[in-house]
Amino acid sequence: LREHEEFTKVKNIATIELGRYEIETWYFSPFPPEYNDCTKLFFCEFCLNFMKRKEQLQRHMRKCDLKHPPGDEIYRNGTLSMFELLKALCASLKALRLFKTEVDGKKNKVYGQNLCYLAKLFLDHKTLYYDVDLFLFYVLCECDDRGCHMVGYFSKEKHSEESYNLACILTLPPYQRKGYGKFLIAFSYELSKKEGKVGTPERPLSDLGLLSYRGYWTRVLLDILKKHKGNISIKELSDMTAIKAEDILSTLQSLELIQYRKGQHVICADPKVLDRHLKAAGRGGLDVDVSKLIWTPYK
């Protein structure tokens, strides 16, 4: 019921200010009732606290001493960084403790919750996870001398029964279509490889989510098939990429690279067909340099 209510509610916040951007929102997000009377919110781009008035934000910015998301930097390549957020890491931060209007009384969850409120403005089919305890957040930033500016994130269940390796993914609108989405997707699979597991995104996917995943799966699989000599099975592809077998099958089927022979799916990778698809697949985007990922699986 609660889910249904959220789906049918009308958009309340029309714009947000975040860092140097003013961003138009896409969907309803269930901000606490005291924000019901405003159409614009002002976010601190570092701790993600949100305020009703510009002056409040300006006052906050003079005191907020965060310059990056409150977590461990687990990846850095040039100006790009990834931060992993566990709730415990948010707890120690003075900025959050001193200046946060409480959401649910548990201070250490505040950053994760603020991120969920923000993300919901651009996600229509997802329910918010109030219990951020169960999730890890991976926040992608562009860094400069003023700090690390969030461009997007994905969340991930700590323990998924369904082998989900990503729950929600978002690139903030000013940063979309630059390859960050596929970077985040690639990153989620790199984590799965380190865990020795296959993964798949939580369903349902949005239209843009599906396009991005299809693009990622297509490119990864075509690259392997192009280089590989001789036969290769879906299981082998799955072991190499951490992409779940079903997703490999559906991608190869949509590329018409699968035949069904004697009750089995067989990959038919005609080099000419591969080249045609590779050309159509477009740019590869930003790669994850695994040598720059410093991470051990969360226990």
Catalytic residues: 202
For position 178 contacting ligand ACO by CB under 6 A, the verdict is yes
What number of chain residues touch ligand ACO (CB under 6 A)? 26
Token digits of residue 50: 């949100």
Measured from the CB of residue 103, what is the shortest distance to ligand ACO in angstroms? 22
Q: Is residue 288 within the footprint of ligand ACO (CB under 6 A)?
A: no
Q: Which one of Zn ion, ligand ACO, none is in contact with 64 (Cβ closer than 5 to 8 A by kind)? A: Zn ion
Distant-in-sequence, close-in-space partners of 233: CB < 8 Å, separation ≥ 6: 267
Please, what is the minimum distance in Å from the beta carbon of residue 28 to ligand ACO?
14
For residues 31 and 217, which CB has a smaller minimum distance to Zn ion in the complex? 31
> Which of 43, 122, 137, 189 forms a contact with ligand ACO (CB under 6 A)?
122
180: partner contacted, choices ligand ACO, Zn ion, none (Cβ within 5-8 A by kind): ligand ACO
φ, ψ of residue 172 in degrees (nearest 5): -60, 140
Structure tokens at 109: 């969850």
Q: Smallest distance, Å, CB 149 to Zn ion?
A: 13
Per CB under 6 A, the list member of 14, 61, 98, 211 interacting with ligand ACO is 211
Comparing CB distances to ligand ACO, the nearer of 41 and 140 is 140
Q: Which does 71 bind (CB under 5 to 8 A by kind): Zn ion, ligand ACO, none?
A: none
The entry of ligand ACO, Zn ion, none near residue 285 (CB within 5 to 8 angstroms by kind) is: ligand ACO
197 binds ligand ACO (CB under 6 A): no
Q: Give the rounded distance of the alpha carbon of 294 from its chain centre.
A: 18
Is residue 93 at the binding interface for Zn ion, with CB under 5 A as the rule?
no
Query: From the list 15, 160, 176, 238, which residue makes contact with ligand ACO (rule: CB under 6 A)?
Result: 176
Decide if residue 215 touches ligand ACO (CB under 6 A).
yes
Q: 283 is in the binding site of which of Zn ion, ligand ACO, none (Cβ under 5 to 8 A by kind)? A: ligand ACO
Q: According to the binding rule CB under 6 A, does residue 282 interact with ligand ACO? A: yes
Reference 189, options 287, 262, 85; nearest CA is 287
Contact call for residues 267 and 234 (beta carbons, < 8 A) = yes
Which residues are near Zn ion by CB under 5 A?
A: 44, 46-47, 64
Which residues are near ligand ACO by CB under 6 A?
A: 122-123, 166, 168-171, 176-182, 201-202, 205-206, 208-209, 211-212, 215, 282-283, 285
